[in-house]
Amino acid sequence: MNINTVKSNAGTFSNEIILKQTDKILKFRAFEVSQTLRKFLSYIINETLSGREGNIKEYTIAIYVLKKKNNPQALANGIVRVHARRLREALISYYVSEGLEDDCIISVPKGRYQPVFLNRNFPKLSASEPYYNNRPEEMYKRKVLGVGPFRTLHKAGSKLALASRISESLSMELSEISSALVISPYNADRLFVSGLDHAGENGNDEIQYIISGHIYFETEKIMVFAELTDVKSKIMLWSYKNIFPYEKQCLFDTGEKVVQSIVKKLDNHSVITERQPIHMYDVKRKRTFCIGK
């Protein structure tokens, strides 16, 4: 069933307006470089405009957006929630930059996957709400996260390769899901060469947090330790320990299991999670509105 308008507590928009707004958003850099984000946004918008917003569930997104039809692990490892967070982050980035003057605000509130459509001209929040003038560069600063080495005492080539692969894969995974800027293992490793006490030297002063770890091997299992450290204070903010089966012939699978386990445990940490909802003051219309809530 097709509908002509979509109503929310923020006003009413025609399908045409929503589709035009979606097209504008899809041309934004964060969506142009990510096919997954493009598919995710297009899917939830099309389902909503077709009157099927009730069908937008975690498992339907896994099937129709992420193509995980025959992979039950897609729900177990929280991959849909990870990409939903990326989508919220990308929408916020759009509306504090290129979409600053747009009247139709598309948002995906936390805890749900159905989009809502906010009219910039409609809401007027209470005077006590915090707000910012329209200066996107001052909204917030992104955290900078480095992925350091995962070390092992073993010298065997396969074991060193596994440790290196975990660092590289973790860096790529976090760059996809984190609101922080992620520095590659090669560059982050310089902190361990010079020591954390020299974090401000040799161009390392931009790294605020670093994830590193150790791997201990036994005959048929490995024990993985990881920690998240504040570079400036040297305080350990988060730690992780887990045991995995180890088969020399399955290094790729073992490395991926380790990385996915670490990412899942890190998912709700403040260094990794999305930015806070932004209350903005529209100078032109003299109204306060909120996005990312």
pLDDT at 34 over 50: yes
CB 207, CB 293: distance < 8 Å:
no
Q: If we measure between CA atoms, which residue out of 241, 246, 234, 252 comes closest to residue 214?
A: 241
CA distance 110 to 292: 8
Q: What is the pLDDT of residue 118?
A: 83
Q: Where are the domains of the chain?
A: 5-136+277-291, 144-266
Choose the weakest-confidence range: 27-36, 241-250, 262-271: 262-271
Q: What is the CATH number of domain 144-266?
A: 3.40.50.10610
Q: What is the pLDDT of residue 10?
A: 38
List, as one string, the DSSP characters of 120-158. TTS----TTS--B-S-GGGS----EEEEEEEE-S---HH
Q: What is the pLDDT of residue 76?
A: 52
When the pLDDT of each residue in the chain is averaged and rounded to a whole number, the result is 76
**Mean pLDDT to the nearest integer, 261-287:** 64
CB atoms inside a 10 Å sphere around CB 213: 24
For a pLDDT cut of 90, what percent of the chain falls above it?
23
Q: Which amino acid is at 227?
A: E
Q: If we measure between CA atoms, which residue out of 261, 243, 10, 240 comes closest to residue 119?
A: 10
CA 225, distance to chain mean position in Å, is: 23
pLDDT tens for each residue of 173-226: 787 666 677 776 766 665 555 555 544 444 444 688 889 999 999 888 999 999
pLDDT at 290 over 70: no
pLDDT at 98 over 80: yes
Higher pLDDT among residues 119 and 221, named by residue: 221
**Mean pLDDT to the nearest integer, 264-269:** 80
Q: What is the pLDDT of residue 270?
A: 73
Q: Which amino acid is at 48?
A: T
